[in-house]
Structure 1
Amino acid sequence: MPSPLYAVALNPALPPDLLGRLVAAADADEDLARALADRADLAPEQVRRLAARDEDTAVRLALGGLLHASDVDPSTRPLVALALLDEGRGDPAWAPRLARHPDPYVRRLLASCPGLPDETAELLAADPTIAVPAELGCHTGRTDLLARLAAHPEAEVRLWVADNRATPPVLLTRLLDDDDVGVRRQAAGNPATPGAAAALHLDDRPEVRGRLAEHPGLPSAAYHRLAEEPACWIRCNLAVNLGIDPALMHRLAADRDTDVLGRLAHHPALPLDLLERLAVTVRIGPVLLPRIAAAEPAELARLADSPEPRVRMLAAEHRDLPPTVRDRLAADPDAAVAKSVAPHPGLPPARLTALLDRFGAKVAAAVAANPDAPAVLLDRIATTEPAPLRALRAIAAHRRAGPGALARCLASADRRTAEAAAGHPGLPPGAIAALVREALPPFTGSRPDPGVPVTDGPMTAR
């Protein structure tokens, strides 16, 4: 069985003495250090010890709010400084220094940070490593810089300017005529590109037409022409485009390609009658479709009353059903419908038990995933022989799982199940201690790193 130690390191019920042991053990275990860096209850000296171990761990601590600008020296920990700058918690004075950093990777990351000082942005725009101004072209909102980068001699830079939604429409229109097809492709799909200008490029290469099919602002006639494309992947792009109208949706619903139909089923504005048709012609599976998520109570009731179980299953995936509709679907004779509705919050224990009695292993994982499933029902599922793997995974993550069910999950040969159980806050302290003892050598006392300060105050990066 794989060691669940890294999940234990994230367990909010981890006792302070065991947390100290894990922090000490992280000196020799990179993955353990990164897991511990995600905790919010580290003492200041533990934060400093982990941060001094390596820069990746320090970045995680910074992203978690445990390291601040005063703790960081950007000359020795540039990636930590960049993480803080990207979140708006860094020192703006760092930016010009990092823009001159010898590592182009550092300069590229800096170019993606928001709110760069003008001096820094100018340096990055003129950077000799093409990836740096390209990154800036993707993220900057300064129109003067975008105009300059749109005329850059390297296509890679112009391409990312064409992808930036802050690029002015006049520049995007110009980039539609770029010599490089990649640049034209990005401009064709940018929602900020004027639709009328983009529609003039329907005779361009297939990769450009494929991005045009994603543009939400084309004239209706352009969409209907794209519906005639022989390449199904272009029609697939069109099928989920928020700009197409119901008339085109009906036309696409007659498409012979099941991939196109499957994508169309995911359109958030699909007429309900079309969705009902698609449910019986293409395999949609147990997923909450955008149109179902936005359905009104009367529409959900209509779907739940359908004689077709695949239509009822669509409604059963909704997690805010009216109680009458929810209970009706919970009593459905079709196992697939019952499985879809079983995780619905609000189902009383008696109905969940009835679902398990009727369908057994077919719905066990779905019942275990219900947030209101009682501990006694989770215990019953966990002790079933053989317990379905998906059910054990759901139990290991369930807030109501008791010690017995968690012990069964912890003993699972499935890594995901064991790790989820090891990180469960309901795991008894004795079980947590046993996991630590199994994974770590015997504790012989504290082993402080002499290079790590143990007093409070800013971290001194080395």
Structure 2
Amino acid sequence: MHHLLCGLAANPALPSELVDRLVSAADDDIATALARRADLSRAQAVALAERVGGSAVHLAHEGRLTTADIDPAVRPDAALVLLDRGAGRSAWARLLAADPVPGRRRRLAACPGLPSDVVETLATDPDVRVVAALASRAAPDVAARLAEHPHAEVRRAVAANEATPPAVLAALVTGQRLPAARRCLVCDREEIPFVHDPHCPRLDCDLPPGASCDGSHASTVHALREAALRNPATPVEAVVGFVDHPSMLLRWTLAARPDLPPQTCARLASDPVPGVRGDLAANPAIGEGLIRRLADDRDSAVRHSLAHHPRIPLDVLTRLARTTGIGATLLPRIAGSSPCEVEELAMSPDPAARTLVAQRRDLPPGIRDRLADDPDVNVVKAIAPHPGLTETQLRAMGDRHGARVLAKVVTNPGASAALLADLVRRVPTPRRVLREVARHPGATAPALLACLGDERAKPLAAGHPALPPRIVAELLRDEERQVAEAAAANPSLPPASMSDLMSHP
């Protein structure tokens, strides 16, 4: 019965008086579903927070509770949610800065717009992770100051902060013009030299696998450099020297930066690690020469990544489409194609080129209709969901290509109820077709009833509002909890059944 009440709590047609009754009987799971209701009143939200204290966090996340509804001394976690959204009060921040739970102070430190006195308090917190949380979101002046903090973990957080001044980021990367860090999380708690066992059996240990320190705070310095390489505010001149670094992870991170100079890109294109070359291949920093070179890369994942480059020449992209499994996706280069390029691709004798452009959903009617009649099944599968296709066209696709395209035909937003009903009567009906019909907003009762015979389509159909109310009520007794819960959440569930569920908890 509990899963039915959870479903009922999410039912958008649940009368307000039954919402009140659910609030008064809610547990954590039911409260989570109630907190997401668009029609939950302020009075109901306040009552729910009183009933289930933990729900105050969900309610604050959903915007159901405001500063007037929360006492930070009683609901500190909910108060932190509002502070993180910039909707809390300064007095709350001052109160929570002295909270005895370090985790709460860490969450507070990451909140935006904190009063300056709170920032100063948190900057000297005895828990270094609180200071690191502050450093990760601090304003430029505070970040610059914390870059000289004696603890390497704080410096790592400063390196990830995009508000940190570029000169400070460069200093963090090189280690120049900064006093040496004296501590890290490893040497805080272990005798050095120490390397953390990746399979550490200690249940209370939260050091990352491989964390190490021999006095140089090696693993934290490595994490700092990775953060700085990932930070777009770090000057590119400070990071290009990592192109030949022995750390694969640092080279991999460097390869994704969109501001790399050509010579750095060229060296990364020869990196022995496919992941490095793959991230470089999608990087808008590379020019046509490197694009054509990487199109011949021996690794298929690199070529797949290259297909997503926004400026890849169409001839290269078409060649990749023939030899690399790109998948059913609209690539950036195709999305940005000019009208002339769209026409050229649609008229191409190469089915791979036509398939690429068929993924667009804004094609001119003439091109759309031409592709709908294409003899190649992959082209038809790509164009089938395009808005504007007629029922006649959609039926013709199914008649020509059968089960290979039906699952895509069913996803078309204009697929009629009659077409959906006809498709589920085909023998055999592909299971994916049943699932897509069960999801389709235009599906009607005959089609949905057919979907109930498939175990994966059944939960989807059970929650569809076009399912007859009598059937929805019957599905409340289904052996599969997922199906019964979906039925309880269905707005077509008869009001009498809703009341009956509330009367038999």
Give the TM interval when normalised to the shorter protein. Answer: 0.7 to 0.9
Change (3 A) 1:124 1:409: farther
Take 1:109 and 1:51, find their aligned partners in 2: how far apart are those partners? 21
Judge conservation of contact 1:373–1:400 (CA < 8 Å) in 2.
yes
Q: Which residue of 2 aligns with 1:454?
A: none
Matches within 5 A, 1:18-417: 19=19, 22-23=22-23, 27-28=26-27, 30-140=28-138, 142-178=139-175, 180-206=221-247, 207-409=249-451, 412-414=454-456, 417=457
Distance, in Å, in 1 between the alignment partners of 2:452 and 2:9 is 15
> Would the alpha carbon gap of residues 17 and 343 (structure 1) be closer, same or farther in structure 2, given more than 3 Å must change?
farther
Give the CA deviation at 1:15.
4.8
List per-residue Cα deviations over 1:101-142 (Å, max 9, x = no partner).
1222222222222212212222222223232222222222x1
Range that drifts further, 9-18 or 311-320: 9-18
Deviation at 1:236, TM superposition (A): 1.3
Structure 1 residues 326-365: Cα deviation after superposition (integer angstroms, max 9, x where no partner) = 1111111222221111111111111112112222322222
Question: d(CA) in 2 for partners of 1:33 and 1:394?
Answer: 31
TM-score (norm 1): 0.86
Q: Distance in 1 between matches of 2:368 and 2:99?
A: 59
Number of residue pairs the alignment of both structures matches: 442
Q: CA separation in 2, counterparts of 1:20 and 1:431?
A: 27
CA drift of 1:279 comes to 0.9
Amino acid at match of 2:298: R
2:169 partner letter:
L
Letter matched to residue 80 of structure 2: L
Per the alignment, in what secondary structure is the counterpart of residue 90 of structure 2? coil
**Residue deviations 1:267-306 (CA, integer Å, cap 9, x gap):** 1222222111211121111111121122222222222222
Give the drift of 1:22.
4.8
For structure 2, the residue ranges without an aligned partner over 5 or more in a row are 176-215, 479-483, 489-496
1:32 is displaced (CA, Å) by 3.1
Displacement of 1:250:
1.7
Aligned-pair CA distance for 1:14 = 4.1
Deviation at 1:168, TM superposition (A): 1.0
1:150–1:157 contact (8 Å) kept in structure 2: yes
What is the distance in 2 between the residues matched to 1:264 and 1:4?
A: 48
Q: Is the 8 A contact 1:18 1:436 kept in 2?
A: no
Q: Kindly state the Cα deviation for residue 410 of structure 1 after the two structures are TM-superposed.
A: 5.0
Q: Deviations over 1:136-155 (max 9, x none)?
A: 22222x11211122222333
Contact 1:11 1:425 in 2 (8 A): no
State which drifts further: 280-289 or 170-179: 170-179
Instruction: Give the letter aligned to residue 349 of structure 2.
Output: P
Residues 361 and 34 (structure 1 numbering): CA distance in 2 closer, same or farther, change over 3 Å? Answer: farther
Work out the percentage of aligned pairs sharing the same amino acid.
48
Over the aligned positions, Cα root-mean-square deviation in angstroms equals 2.8
Query: Given that residues 355 and 378 in structure 2 are in contact (C-alpha distance below 8 angstroms), is that contact kept between their aligned partners in structure 1?
Result: yes
Q: Does 1:424 align with 2:487?
A: no
8 Å Cα contact 2:5/2:501 also seen in 1: no
Does the C-alpha gap of structure 1 residues 437 and 123 become closer, same or farther in structure 2, counting only changes over 3 Å? farther
CA distance in 2, matches of 1:7, 1:340: 36
Give the aligned partner of residue 190 of structure 2: none
Distance 1:410 1:112, change over 3 A: farther
* Unaligned segments of structure 1, at least 5 residues: 449-462
- The structure, 1 or 2, with the larger RCO (C-alpha pairs under 8 Å, 6+ apart) is 1
Alpha carbons of 1:167 and 1:312: their partners in 2 closer, same or farther (altered >3 Å)?
same
Q: In the superposition, relative to structure 1, how do residues 410 and 92 fare at CA in structure 2: closer, same or farther (>3 Å)?
A: farther
